[in-house]
Amino acid sequence: MTISLADLRLEAVRQAHQGAAGTASATGTTSTLRDTKLLDVYLDSSALAHHWLYRRNATAAGDLLRRLGASPLDTSDGDLTPTRVWTNAPQSAEAYELYSLLPPIDHPAAPYSWLRAINDGLSRCYYLDHIALGRGDDEGKRRFELAATETTHIAIVAAAGGTNLASITSSGWTSRGRTNSGTTLAVEVFERRARRDDPASWTFTLSSSVAAVGIIAAFGDVEIETPVDVIQGQSNGASASITAPAASTTVNNTIVLRAFAAALASALSTADATERIDAIVADNASTLALMLATEDQATAGGSGTAAATQGSVGTSVGYTVALAPRSSLTRPHFVDAAAGQNGTGATTLVIRRPSSLANDDWTVTRESVIRVYTRRLPEAAAGRDRDEGAQGLWWDYEDDPPHIVLSRSPSQDEIVYAVVARPYPALSADADVTDCPTELAVAAATYCAFRHMNAAKPSLGDYKLELGEAANEFARLLKKYPIEHAAKGL
């Protein structure tokens, strides 16, 4: 069972007795939030002094977090007054949360937050993951590099010229498909496994000097050996609608990418998926627009089509790309995206490398490798799969750079896997979810929060009792769950 960051944070703060949740009883003002139920709980205004007020569903990003003053509660009507007004007033029945001591999310005035406590806690909880290191070759390969990052990059390039443009290339990237819309528009999709030493930007080379626009998107928890489960592109005729075709996914828990490109002087929009990034470039002959959106798909099967709209009639290309998860305990998730364009035309297109979450750059260490085994490819000759890690296949770990060295050379029809104890990925947005067992994630976050507060106080030991209780509960749950969920903690 998964739990979202928003619910995990609230459950942790409740168990730590450092916060609460409520619902506005009436529409407030830009300077007040009304909840008459507070009058039945707090006898005086000072009980809520200097709490953090968090509006999880605020329509404006700048309205999420406010600090309350020394006497924030009006005991005559239940109005809470923050020290700074909102852009949009809280609405009747709008959910809100109150936090003492630590803010729920990062804030410039606070060195620590419940967001950081949750991610610190998740980094102490481990599960078993099977990482594909590569396949054997005909040259007796025995050294297999361990991925230096947990992020997969997908690049989408839209260029003018269509079939008249001979090629779009970039060193280190693998093309997964190209679709042309006549001689007007060419769209190509690329993928690569990101590395810590990747450059700050990537250059794509065009065989002709044409206008081009591109997007690079980063995704975490994607299968290394075969990151793309299915891909399907189609050219659309002259229309104000752009269709990304249906595709049939073969694995559960995929993320489906929808790319829409048009040779038109207008921005694009879609209601069929979550828009991640869009870009536009003006050419002397046409204007290129490109947009990337995503949607989660829990069960293998048909994705259905998705549509985007443009401002006027024009030719377009739509793509559907499904990414495969790394393991049954994970699902691919969007991390970040960046866009680039080359003005009115050039033979190159530069796109900045998108950023990634800290835990998506987790590196395998000697201590985290549990075992190594090989498995035959599905299309290999008949014969049972090998699982030599459990039967004594000798292997060793080498640093700089991290490698696994096998005692024998695997054949060309074998893939080498490492079983590692991997920390749960970090969460960054309220809707992000974790597969870490809820009670374990809550205990880990609570322990980390009290650990920080105890160490940060001028007189060490202000939260010594709470820290001890949280540590005992975390330690108890670490023993309760097997290695799949917790390898180490305290």
Q: Is the pLDDT of residue 355 over 80?
A: no
CA gap 338, 351 in Å, rounded: 7
Query: What is the mean pLDDT of the segment spanning 20-39?
Result: 95
Using 50, 70 and 90 to split pLDDT, how confident is the model at 384? very low
**Contacts of 73-78 spanning 24+ positions with Cβ under 8 A:** 73/38, 73/42, 73/44, 73/45, 73/47, 73/48, 74/32, 74/45, 75/39, 75/43, 75/44, 75/45, 77/34, 77/36, 78/25, 78/34, 78/35, 78/36, 78/37, 78/38, 78/39
The CA–CA distances, whole Å, from 157 to 145, 169, 267, 270, 311 equal: 29, 10, 16, 19, 21
pLDDT per position as a tens digit, 116-141 = 999 999 988 888 877 777 778 888 88
The CA–CA distances, whole Å, from 116 to 387, 426, 432, 438, 440 equal: 39, 9, 14, 17, 16
Q: Is the pLDDT of residue 486 over 50?
A: no
Q: Is the pLDDT of residue 110 over 60?
A: yes
pLDDT of residue 444: 95
Using 50, 70 and 90 to split pLDDT, how confident is the model at 393? low
Please give the single-letter amino acid code of residue 134. Answer: G
pLDDT per position as a tens digit, 230-255 = 999 999 988 889 999 999 999 999 99
| Token pair listed for 262 | 């048009």
pLDDT of residue 382: 47
pLDDT of residue 42: 72
The CA–CA distances, whole Å, from 64 to 10, 86, 94, 103, 234 equal: 15, 9, 12, 11, 41
pLDDT per position as a tens digit, 253-283 = 999 999 999 987 667 889 999 999 988 886 5
The structure tokens 């992020």 sit at 151
* Sign of the C-alpha dihedral computed for residues 157, 363, 360 and 299 taken in this order: positive
pLDDT per position as a tens digit, 403-459 = 889 988 888 888 788 888 888 888 878 888 888 899 999 999 999 999 998 887 665
Spatial strand order of the sheet with 26-29 comes to 19-23, 95-99, 52-54, 65-74, 79-82, 32-34, 26-29
Q: Is the pLDDT of residue 54 over 90?
A: yes
Query: What is the mean pLDDT of the segment spanning 165-192?
Result: 95
Query: What is the mean pLDDT of the segment spanning 382-397?
Result: 60
Q: Contact at 8 Å (CB) between 229 and 251?
A: yes
Q: Is the pLDDT of residue 69 over 60?
A: yes
pLDDT of residue 478: 87
- Span of 130-144, 295-309, 372-386, 475-489 with lowest mean pLDDT: 372-386
Using 50, 70 and 90 to split pLDDT, how confident is the model at 402? confident
pLDDT of residue 490: 45
- Span of 245-254, 300-309, 339-348 with lowest mean pLDDT: 339-348
- Taking residue 205's Cβ as centre, other Cβ atoms within 10 Å add up to 12
pLDDT of residue 225: 76
The CA–CA distances, whole Å, from 113 to 99, 100, 193, 367 equal: 10, 11, 32, 29
| Token pair listed for 316 | 């377009």
Q: Is the pLDDT of residue 468 over 80?
A: yes
What is the average pLDDT score of the chain?
A: 86
Using 50, 70 and 90 to split pLDDT, how confident is the model at 108? confident
Class of domain 19-100: mainly beta
Using 50, 70 and 90 to split pLDDT, how confident is the model at 489? very low
CA gap 165, 482 in Å, rounded: 55
pLDDT of residue 383: 47
Using 50, 70 and 90 to split pLDDT, how confident is the model at 390? very low
The structure tokens 């999880």 sit at 56
Assessment of whether the complete model's pTM goes beyond 0.85: no
pLDDT of residue 261: 94
Residue ranges of the domains in the chain? 19-100, 126-146+363-423, 151-358
